[in-house]
Amino acid sequence: MLLESLQSTVEEVNIFSTSDLFLRQRLELVESLWESVLKAECGLELVDLLKKLRKISSPEGQVTDQPKTSINELIEELELNEAIRATRAFALYFQLINIVEQHYEQRDQQLNRRSTYQESEKARENYQKGEKSTNGLVGADLLEKALVGETKSQEKGGTFHWLFPQLKRLNVPPQQIQRLLEQLDIRLVFTAHPTEIVRHTIRLKQRRIATLLRRLDQAEEAFRGMGLSSSWEAESIIEQLNEEIRLWWRTDELHQFKPSVLDEVDYTLHYFDEVLCSALPQLSQRLQQALQDNFPRIKPPHNTFCRFGSWVGGDRDGNPFVTTDVTWRTACYQRNLILEKYLAAVEDLTEILSSSLHWSNVSQDLLDSLERDRVAMPEIYDQLAIRYRQEPYRLKLAYIQKRLEHTRDRNNHLANPEQGQVLVEETPENIYHSGVEFEAELQLIKRNLEETGLKCQALENLIFQAQMFGFTLTQLDFRQESSRHSETIQTIASYLNILPTPYEELSEAEKVNWLVGELQTRRPLIPMEMPFDEKTIETVETMRMLRHLQQEFGIEICQTYIISMTNDVSDVLEVLLLAKEAGLYDPGTSTTTIRIVPLFETVDDLKRAPEIMEALFKLPLYRTALAGGYDYLDEDKKEQLPPPQLQPANLQEIMVGYSDSNKDSGFLSSNWEIHKAQKSLQKIAEPHNLALRLFHGRGGSVGRGGGPAYAAILAQPTGTINGRIKITEQGEVLASKYSLPELALYNLETATTAVIQGSLLGSGFDDIDPWNGIMEELASSARKAYRSLIYEQPDFLDFFLSVTPIPEISQLQISSRPARRKSGKKDLSTLRAIPWVFSWTQSRFLLPAWYGVGTALEGFLQQEPEENLKLFKYFYLKWPFFKMVISKVEMTLSKVDLQIAHHYVKELSDPEDIERFEKVFERISEEYHRTCEIILSITGQPKLLEGDAGLQRSVQLRNGTIVPLGFLQVSLLKRLRQYTRQAESGVIHFRYSKEELLRGALLTINGIAAGMRNTG
């Protein structure tokens, strides 16, 4: 038996140790199962072929010394079906080892958390014995002490039980911690960006295998604890794993159809249903426990300190399929999901809260509530009064459950009115109008329990969920590109003939003056019947839908409206004017129920962002709107209005984009411009007494701002976080972070830890002018080098379209959104950042995440080689921003494979293009080697990732097998493109159809994405 063959290995180590031996044992298991399934499904010939193909590369991922011609012949001679089966087999292998590694990471985090907790307990005991820190400094020295020499602690994830003892040892004043916790505001926004290549069906199979692995851990621990040599339960689980993998093999990996927006809604909200709804209460409990252990007098933050948002169903930028109907159905879908979760929880509580009046007292307020319920819902009383006559909690929960059911039924009718009327007559008393009403009833039960000395954790968790998710589940953000608003205003103004000069021809100052004037009048601008084009009508109807959603679901459902490609002050005022027309902005009180969020994406826009925001802040009308209008009203008018409860007063949210700035100027320039913009925006906001919440539009890949969130947050400029941050989470990142409960908790805890740590332990290193001057020089040099290749090299566009699978990637059915912002000419300006990064990842160049960095660093080193290298090493040690940049570049370089990349160039280029494409490749190769050499000299390591054993292991784990998949992709792309050329000429000499060839090529894209654990 397989289990017995592994027994000798297992017995050498405690199964719950953190050593790599456990990981290797699990990898051996899944690889053995993988081979077994392939033999059973396809025969020994496929397994032998796979072994032969894997010999193409060394364990480190380099192509072996065997002649390249023999490799090509082996691949090219494969029948299409053989190539496809080999591709599918390698893709399955990568998916399986991803599951194992993720499972291992989750176990490792549990162990590290336990270890960190024990260390913090020991430190707390020492502190109480009088072994206190003697350093009372707060500021730059604190960050030095916290970051330098704390590498080992940070490897444990920066958990709460690591952070708060640190703050105590560093003598951070409790009052300072308290102030920060009171304004702690972390928002993670799920987007529908098309970087998730794995089908939802396959994700479910992955989850089942992860569950079986967890059960296998428990079974093996149990039989080893009893001193037994074998376990029928473990053997049974291994057999179930085998069955799951066989079923997976027979499942199509490719999306069967282009997903609709509502499909994407379902895929994304799946993580709330499966993991987040139950995980988030634990996050709050962990923080409270760590705080109690170290600062018992500090009040913990509100339960909603970490909240989620979503763009799925609200992001219209470049996606014509996000209609008002889709947005409405999305909001109903969200409400239905959370109501079903509440119903299941109430059923569980009914089982738990069985207290009888014979043995427990209840307060009069609960009895009064039950009497009101009897009058409002007599049918429930008639049905259950006898059954629950001595069990008041169960009777109360029966009323709560029925109200939830009525609320759900009404919601389903709103989502699908064509399906008929609601079965139960709706009254104000038999439904909930908001999550606040639902929470109030739960709080009533909680108070009664506490008064009798009882506590119910399941009830506490449900109250937490009610506070966190309400009846909306998550906030739904809207986004649209700035030109759509300008075009809408132009169309309306032209139709009404109210401007002497067309709106589009006005200067920026003239636009602002006219918009401000329109915003101060109650006269409607848009006629009820709109004789406009489809786009104009859709833009106006979007605002009306936003208003309709707030009326039905409460303003918490959607308060954020993001303007992508913000270029001027008028871009923001145009949206405010359209909001006014929809009833979302009141010119009389200067109050608004939405928050307009400018998104600065390109480098030029990032540079102009401070100037634009300064101009906005100086506009009395806009400044009053930010204050909620209330603070700026006369005292007599204040008495006529309730205090503002719509938005936190005097808070401006600003979004910075990583993807387009990187595509525009390269990795180093993009990150530096974002870094600078944040500092400048903070300085501008302070004199206006405004707080900022910076919204980071990060993707999954390094080329789009991705990478470990913990280090990225700590690398933000000092004084710009202040307990507030908002970050996008998208594509494959959702699966890697939130598919398993402990991993989700770990990622949420490290993000929260980083926000607290970065806010309290500012360094001041970001404000050292000579350092900033050096970085400015480096960013400028890197941008010049990057753009000289990407935008100024005349052969580059042809090179990109030929030697990467960009034409084929656009045919993947992974998103409802088109790959290009606008149809027409296929140039880099219209191509979205995601397919841009995706294609370079597939061909193993990973160009957007590192090109230009080596040239910039080398140019500075050449000025004073020894001294400047020492300076770089010092930056790397002391400056979080610089270390983040170098670490991300190092990680990306470790995934680059120029041998494979060169194979793409030689095999996919037309013969007449080879000479000019080789020159482009040589230029890329020179920059790669230059960058590697300098990065290693800065880190002081002999090899890339030598200082990060875990990440190095993860990369090497895949490198040895991903090479043959690259060869297979090239072969299938060649065949597909040859077919296309023949079809264009009218003469086709192929055994296979275009559909068969395209399917093979797309399967290789799936496989390489799984092997790289990254797409775009």
Q: Report residue 283: phi and psi, to 5°.
A: -60, -45
Write the CB contacts of 987 (distance below 8 Å, at least 6 apart in sequence): none
User: Across the strands, what pairs with 693?
Assistant: 653
Q: How many CB atoms within 10 Å of residue 297?
A: 8
Nearest-angstrom CA–CA distance, 392 and 657: 54
Enumerate residues 6+ apart whose C-beta is below 8 A from 300: 181, 284, 287, 288, 291
610: Cα within 13 Å, side-chain hemisphere: 15
Cβ(1009)–Cβ(197) under 8 Å?
yes
Angle made by CA atoms 38, 44, 45, in degrees to the nearest 5: 105
- Residue among 161, 168, 193, 696 flagged as catalytic: 193
Paired with 481 in beta bridges are 564
Number of Cβ atoms within 10 Å of the Cβ of 205:
18
- Kind and range of the H or E element at 726? strand 724-730
Q: In sequence order, what are the beta bridge partners of 309? A: 189, 475
Q: What is the separation of C-alpha 789 from the centre of its chain, rounded to a whole number of angstroms?
A: 30
User: Which of these is catalytic: 663, 676, 888, 895?
Assistant: 663
Tokens, residue 10? 């297992």
With 0-12 / 13-18 / 19 or more C-beta atoms within 10 angstroms meaning exposed / middle / buried, residue 571 is buried
CA 755 to chain centre: 16
Are the C-beta atoms of 909 and 803 separated by less than 8 Å?
Answer: yes
Please say if 878 is a catalytic residue.
Answer: no
CB atoms near residue 377 (< 10 Å): 19
Residue 488 backbone dihedrals phi, psi, to 5 degrees: -65, -45
| 560-564/585-586 β-pairing | unpaired
The helix/strand/coil state of 243 is helix
Task: State the Cα–Cα distance between residues 784 and 780, nearest whole angstrom.
Answer: 6
- Residue showing tokens 């493109």: 977
Other C-beta atoms closer than 10 Å to the C-beta of 299 total: 11
**Which alpha helices (DSSP H) does 582-657 contain, by range?**
603-617, 620-626, 635-638
Amino acid at 15: I
For the four alpha carbons of 885, 886, 887 and 893, in that order, the dihedral sign comes to positive
Residues pairing with 628 in the sheet: none
Report d(CA 344, CA 289) in Å as an integer: 28
302 noted as active-site residue: no
What phi and psi values does residue 590 have, to the nearest 5 degrees?
Answer: 55, 35
CA–CA–CA angle 604, 606, 610 (5° rounding): 115
Active-site residues, by number, are 193, 663
